[in-house]
Amino acid sequence: MTGSPTPRLLAGLAATLLAIALFSGYTLKQIEGLRVLQRETVERNRKDSLQLLRIQSNLNSLGLAIRDVVEGRQEYPISAYRNEFDRLRVDLDDALKTESQLATRPGEQNRYLQQSVMQFWESMNQVLAIAETDEPRARKMMANSLTAQQASLSSTVSRLLVQNHAGEEQAAAAVEGIYDRVERNIYLFLLAMLAGIAGIGVFVAVSNRALFQHLAQVSEQRSTLSRRLIGLQEEIFRSVSRELHDDFGQILTAIGTMLRRAEKKGLPADSSFTEDVAEVRQIVQETLEKTRSFSQALHPTILDDYGLEKAIERYLPAVEKQSGIKVSFEKQGSGSPAEGHAIHVYRILQEALTNVVRHSKSKEASVRLSYSESAMLLQIEDRGVGIGPAANGGLGLIAMRERAELVGGELQVTRRPHGGTLVELKVPVSAREASQHPSRNRSE
């Protein structure tokens, strides 16, 4: 390589960002014009058409009522229809008022429609007044005058609806034109960007290929070394744990047994030798318990014998006893990690709870273990001060992430909004199916 590719990459990035900014401004302007067109024309016409349909519906109802009066299908006087006419008039006047505010047509058409409606109601008032003294004449006026006026109003509203429909079609055509222009420009811009990105990508690939290969090799070597070190560490822990449990544990148990026999030899109860033997036996018993505890800390045999869940149930009371922190345990479903992964899950749990004890200042913590068909989820949460940014680089968290990668899992450590830290580990389960209907157990 003749020099650093950074200046040329920055220049290409600046040109790309400038082009994106210009195109984005143009596109936003087109979209804003489209929004205005839709808001002021299409949407307004749609609402206007709904009001016109409402007016037309009221006129149709008036027409039916007038027909009933003229034909005399029901033996009611005209005055009996006054309430229905008043109701339709109120609704029709409200619809006309709303429609006049939405209409975009010339004012002459609006005035003509309103004047026609006013003339209709004036005629209706005359007919109702005449009906009080001369119903036959009133019915005749309804048949001749009001029916014609109602038909004229319906025809006018129908023409306005057709006019609105035509306006909507014109607006739709304008919108379609804007869409076409924007789409065409987007295609052109994408082609230009793809060409530019392809050129930059080829340059970056050529410039950094060797670096990426080196990083990949280093990463693979680091992962391999990490797996070997962790595996070797666990083997050493397992071996030392077995030695302590089997050899030293048996020796101390034998010494304790012989001391018990010595106490039963019939020595006087007030003999100093008897007191010394009892003291030594007590020391041997305490040493045996410490040896077993240390053996379990190195490698819990219960993990091999009974599985992860039993190991957790055995470990949590020990944490409560040593730290004074109340630790609750919840389990949902059943299953097990893949073979060989349980020890790593257990170590992550140990490290997470150690961090809770050392740094969280929390009085309680919770451990949740749940299984799905393909994965196991382990959650450790406290109510303490929460993890700080500097803690992400700590050796404990690094070791936890290494073990999570080793078992093909995912580890997330997050600070909770209400305070405290949540550690989540998700790992694949074994081929044995998890329960389809998990039951929830809780122990604290």
- pLDDT tens by residue, the chain, 444 residues: 445 566 776 777 777 778 777 877 777 777 777 777 666 677 777 788 888 888 888 888 888 888 888 777 666 788 788 888 888 888 888 888 888 888 777 778 878 888 888 888 888 888 888 888 888 888 888 888 888 888 888 888 888 888 877 877 777 777 777 777 777 877 787 787 778 777 776 776 677 677 767 777 777 777 677 667 776 776 777 677 666 666 666 777 777 777 777 767 656 656 677 777 777 878 877 787 777 677 666 767 777 778 888 888 888 888 888 888 999 999 988 877 877 788 888 888 888 998 888 888 888 999 999 988 888 899 999 988 877 665 555 777 888 888 888 888 889 998 887 778 999 999 987 644 433 334 333 333
Distance CA 112, CA 100 (A): 12
Distance CA 345, CA 335 (A): 14
pLDDT score of 391: 58
pLDDT score of 378: 92
Which structural domains are found in the chain, ordered by start? 6-202 (1.20.120), 300-443 (3.30.565.10)
- Would you give the distance in Å from CA 273 to the centre of its chain? 73
Helix then strand then coil, in percent of the chain rounded to 5, is 75, 10, 15
Mapped onto helix, strand or coil, the DSSP state of residue 332 is strand
Q: How many residues does the chain have?
A: 444
CA torsion angle for 13, 16, 20, 21 (degrees, to 10)?
A: 60
Q: Which tokens go with 120?
A: 């209709």
Contacts for 435 with CB less than 8 Å, ≥ 6 apart:
333, 334, 335, 371
Contact 31, 164 (CB under 8 A): no
pTM for the predicted model, two decimal places: 0.45
Among all chains, which residue has been given the structure tokens 């989820």? Answer: 377
| Structural element, H or E, at residue 316 | helix 308-323
Among all chains, which residue has been given the structure tokens 């302590």? Answer: 244
Contact 352, 406 (CB under 8 A): no
DSSP assignments along 416-435, one per residue: -TTSSEEEEEEEEB-SSPPP
Strands 326-332 and 440-443: antiparallel
DSSP assignments along 371-394, one per residue: E-SSEEEEEEEE-SS---GGGGGS
First vs last Cα of the chain: how many Å apart?
63
Among all chains, which residue has been given the structure tokens 């033997």? Answer: 277
**Nearest Cα to 377, choosing from 427, 431, 310, 438?**
427
pLDDT score of 195: 80
pLDDT score of 443: 37
C-beta neighbour count of 179 within 10 angstroms: 12
Provide the β-strand partners of residue 250.
none
